[in-house]
Amino acid sequence: MMKKPNGYWTYEKCKEFSLTCKYRSEVEKKSKSVYKKIIENKWFELFDHMERLGNKKNRLIYVYEFIDNYFYVGLTYNIKRRNNQHLGKEKYKATSVYKHILKTGTLPKLIIKTDYINVNDAILLEEKTLIEYKNNGWIALNEVKTGGIGQNYKWTKELCKIEASKYNRIVDFVRKSGWAYNVSLKNNWIDEFFPIREISKIGYWNNKELCKEEAKKYKTRTDFQFGMWSAYNYSYINGWIDEFFSMTSKPGYWNNKELCKEEAKKYESRTKFKRKYWAAYNYSVKNNWIDEFYPKK
């Protein structure tokens, strides 16, 4: 936009310009001069017609209610966009709400529970809303735990603690909320969130039989590492790992086409292959064998 002379942006001019925008952020993006003028003169009524959006610090809580007693609760910074995604009106991966619409052939009722509020409060309120609905006999469609706010949000200690409280084991915290875990690990909060047990004391696992019994609880050495790191560490240092786990879990074992092919035959789809035996699947993808094992239709 061309630079305007001093005094050009009067109230009427700013009003005319603001009516061409749907959001406050759009005004600022298109013309910093207009946005600054409105703020300086406190002409906030020029924003009244615009749709409100949240941001990294603010979210609103919403609920979808289906007539068959299913429901979904979520939080978002842009309810219009999120609603379009749930209803399949916008290109997006199929949500649990959209899947239920297709399954039942019915549209849900959208209920806005809050205005855009502080994200810390929104996370707690979302969980509270979920529990209240369940206690009243509703069936949740939420496929993942409530409170997800993504990698771009600043994970404070309080938020990390809330997130960690959802899991009984560190391995679950790692797998299901990686960003919160990484921040907690970096700031040395893990021991506070998951108090050290007696069996985690230094030297406890320097015993082959104890480590062997613990290793039996896990399918792979990676699961063992995440599930009980101290036991894994002593097992690795003392050279017991290969004895506890079969050759198939050794690094590089699956870098063999025939071995991978035989393993792939056990699963009817790539997805199941990946879930059941990630190492074999990974080498199959890396070596471009996967399309041969699972020809594209």
Return the beta strands (E) in the chain as ranges. Answer: 58-65, 70-76, 109-112, 117-118, 139-140
Report the pLDDT value the prediction gives residue 261, as an integer from 0 to 100: 92
Do 278 and 252 contact (CB within 8 A), yes or no? Answer: no
Q: What is the C-alpha separation between 262 and 266, in angstroms, rounded?
A: 7
Do 129 and 74 contact (CB within 8 A), yes or no? Answer: no
Report the pLDDT value the prediction gives residue 283, as an integer from 0 to 100: 84
Do 174 and 181 contact (CB within 8 A), yes or no? Answer: yes
Cβ-proximal residues to 95 (8 Å cutoff; 6+ apart), any chain: 85, 86
Report the pLDDT value the prediction gives residue 250, as an integer from 0 to 100: 61
Report the pLDDT value the prediction gives residue 34, as an integer from 0 to 100: 84
Strand partners, 74: 62
Report the pLDDT value the prediction gives residue 1, as an integer from 0 to 100: 57
Do 205 and 237 contact (CB within 8 A), yes or no? Answer: no
Q: What is the C-alpha separation between 254 and 276, in angstroms, rounded?
A: 14
CATH class for domain 58-140? alpha beta
Number of other residues whose CB lies within 10 A of the CB of residue 193: 19
pLDDT tens, the chain, 297 aa long: 567 777 888 888 888 888 888 877 788 788 888 888 887 887 878 777 766 554 556 788 899 999 988 999 998 888 888 888 888 887 777 888 999 999 888 899 999 888 777 777 777 788 888 888 888 888 988 865 555 544 445 678 888 888 888 777 777 777 777 778 778 877 878 778 876 444 445 567 888 998 888 888 877 776 777 667 778 778 877 888 878 876 555 667 788 899 899 889 988 888 888 777 777 888 888 889 999 999 876
Report the pLDDT value the prediction gives residue 109, as an integer from 0 to 100: 92
Which of 112, 117, 114, 124 shows the shortest CA–CA distance to 59? Answer: 117
Where are the chain's structural domains?
A: 11-47, 58-140, 167-196, 198-249, 257-293
What SS3 class is residue 112?
A: strand
Do 284 and 264 contact (CB within 8 A), yes or no? Answer: yes
